[in-house]
Amino acid sequence: MALLEVEDLHTYFKTRAGEVHAVDGVSFSLERGKTLGIVGESGCGKSVTALSIMGLVPPPGRVVSGRALFEGQDLLQRKSRELEDIRGREIAMIFQDPMTSLNPTLTIGMQITETLRRHLKLTRDEARKRAVELLEEVRIPNAAQRLRDYPHRYSGGMRQRVMIAIALSCNPKLLIADEPTTALDVTVQAGVLALLRELREEHDMAMIMITHDMGVVAETSDEVIVMYAGQVVEQAGTFELFDSPEHPYTEALLAALPQIEGEDVRHSRLASIPGRPPDLISPPPACRFADRCVYASLEDSCTRVLPELRELRPGHFVRTAHPASERAAAPVGS
Kindly list the residues in this chain that would bind another protein in the complex (CB under 8 A).
54, 56, 59, 84-89, 92-95, 97, 100-106, 114-115, 118-119, 140-142, 145-146, 149, 153, 163, 166-167
Q: What's the min distance (Å) between Cβ of 327 and another protein?
A: 42
Cβ atoms 237, 315 nearer than 8 A: yes
CB-wise, 54 or 236, nearer to another protein?
54
User: Residue 260's CB: how many other CB atoms inside 10 A?
Assistant: 6
CB closer to another protein, 179 vs 219: 179
Q: What CA–CA distance (Å, rounded) separates 151 from 174?
A: 26
Least distance from another protein to the Cβ atom of residue 179, Å: 12
Nearest distance, CB of residue 145 and another protein, angstroms: 6
Q: What are phi and psi of 267, to 5 degrees?
A: -95, -25
Looking at the Cβ atoms of 104 and 333, the one nearer to another protein is 104
Q: Which is nearer to another protein, 114 or 291 (CB)?
A: 114
- Report the distance separating Cα 3 and Cα 33, nearest Å: 9
The distance of closest approach from Cβ of residue 184 to another protein in the complex, given in angstroms and rounded to an integer, is 15
Q: Which is nearer to another protein, 74 or 85 (CB)?
A: 85
Min CB(75)–another protein separation in Å? 13
Rounded CA gap, 86 and 69, in Å? 13
Nearer to another protein, 23 or 93 (CB): 93
Q: Rounded distance, CA 167 to CA 164, Å?
A: 5
> Which is nearest to 241 in space by CA: 152, 315, 138?
315
Q: Which of 58, 1, 296, 309 is nearest to 173 (CA)?
A: 1
Q: Report the nearest approach of another protein to the CB of residue 79 (Å).
A: 13
CA angle 51, 53, 59 (to 5 degrees): 45
Nearer to another protein (CB atom), residue 118 or residue 292: 118
SS (H, E, C) 104-149: CCCCHHHHHHHHHHHHHCCCHHHHHHHHHHHHHHCCCCCHHHHCCC
> Smallest distance, Å, CB 259 to another protein?
33
